Amino acid sequence: MDNTKGQVITYKSQLIFPAFHSSCGGSTENSEEVWVAATPYLKGVPCPYCADPEPERQTSYTLAEVDNKLKTNLSAYPLWQVITLIRQ
């Protein structure tokens, strides 16, 4: 993101809605298939960079690792509350 810091994108002299995602799974969608309205600059295209056959991954962290990264103290909550907080 540092490469585009301070830059903007316009369409017909208006700022665009710069939708972003980390992985498209091999192709993007037209805006009207994701949101309510069609946006002429958000059209579906094939993407060879995200054509990962296994885009979902599972990773496990200890509660201490989560607390450390988030600067929290989830270990102070009963376990069922921690699970509920993570799923939301």
pLDDT in tens, 64-76: 888 888 888 877 7
Q: Which domain holds residue 18?
A: 7-57
HSE (CB half, 13 Å, CA atoms) of 5? 3
Cα 28 to Cα 45: distance, rounded to the nearest angstrom:
5
CA distance 69 to 71: 6
For the chain, give the longest Cα–Cα distance.
54
Q: What is the pTM of this model?
A: 0.47
The pLDDT averaged over each successive group of 10 residues in the chain (88 residues) is: 85 88 81 89 86 68 85 76 56
> Tell me, what's the pLDDT at 28?
87
Provide the pLDDT for residue 66: 84
Residue 48 in any domain: the answer is yes
Same domain for 34 and 70? no
Number of domains in the chain: 2
